[in-house]
Amino acid sequence: MTTNVLDQNMHPDSVVYLEHDGKVLLVDDLGNGPCLPTKGRDDGGEILRFPTPKEVKSLGIEFTTKMSLSIRFDSGTYEVIKAYPKIGWPKDWAWKDDCISDDCVHPVVRESIYRSLHRLVSKVMIQNSDGDVLMAKVERGHFHGFWTLPGGYMDHDEHPTIGCVRETLEELGLDIVLDSSEPIITQRIFNNEGISFVSFTYRSTWDGMLSELNLQTEEISEAKWFDVREAHAQAVSYFDKQALRSILNE
């Protein structure tokens, strides 16, 4: 029977996640590779993992380090060095999308690939004719108790122009029409978990009354108009601040 290296805590403390245009380098427990996953495999075969820095060097691969991730499991914490290999496109490496559904691919690999996918957020700055900005006080999630611009995570098959309109209707009961201006696009990784967030923030104009709104009270406790400087001061989201700063700079 094949030993599960995660259960035995035998996985190296530090490995290198080499990715080149959708291809990743996997090795066996002895550091031999490249190895390929089998989609749908669950027969307890030999564990495939990322190589250690020493194993990458032994394979003669030079790389440029991009960042270092911390993967925390009950069995311990693993350092994953995210890097770009200085080689031609490695057609004999594994497709990253094939690693997810193979139970013999180590969880450190699958978790690292999962974290490499962008989280997409779509938001909107709604202004009235006086230039004030409509903000909502959030009742749950990352910004509980704080003021934010309407919006949220995009659905899987959703365009960002649709996402922020849908979210505004759900949160505030307000069916907005977006202005024709291009969105403010902002990307950032906030901690050593390495998850990348990308925000698309659009603009819209509405001159209605707050009494016309129908708040989703489980998520939004209050809506309020702020002048732009006050809105920027109230905002706690990095993406909201970046978007509001663009108005201040006009």
Give the tens place of pLDDT for each residue, 11-59: 999 999 999 999 999 999 999 999 999 999 988 788 999 999 999 999 9
Are 106 and 134 in a shared domain?
Answer: no
Q: What's the pTM? A: 0.84
Q: What does pLDDT average to over the chain?
A: 93
Number of domains in the chain: 2
Boundary residue ending a domain (61, 84, 115):
115
Give the tens place of pLDDT for each residue, 96-112: 999 999 999 999 999 99
- pLDDT at 4 exceeding the cut of 80: no
The rounded Cα 87 to chain-centroid distance in angstroms is 27
Average pLDDT over residues 203-221: 95
- pLDDT at 7 exceeding the cut of 90: no
Are 133 and 60 in a shared domain?
Answer: no
What's the CA gap between 56 and 27, in Å, rounded? 10
Residue range of the domain that includes 149: 119-248
Please report whether residue 147 resides in a domain.
yes
Please report whether residue 39 resides in a domain.
yes
* pLDDT value of position 9: 55
Are 110 and 147 in a shared domain?
Answer: no
Are 109 and 147 in a shared domain?
Answer: no
Please report whether residue 8 resides in a domain.
no
CATH label of the domain that carries residue 35: 3.90.79.10
Please report whether residue 7 resides in a domain.
no
Residue 175 main-chain phi, psi, to 5 deg: -95, 100
- pLDDT at 5 exceeding the cut of 50: no
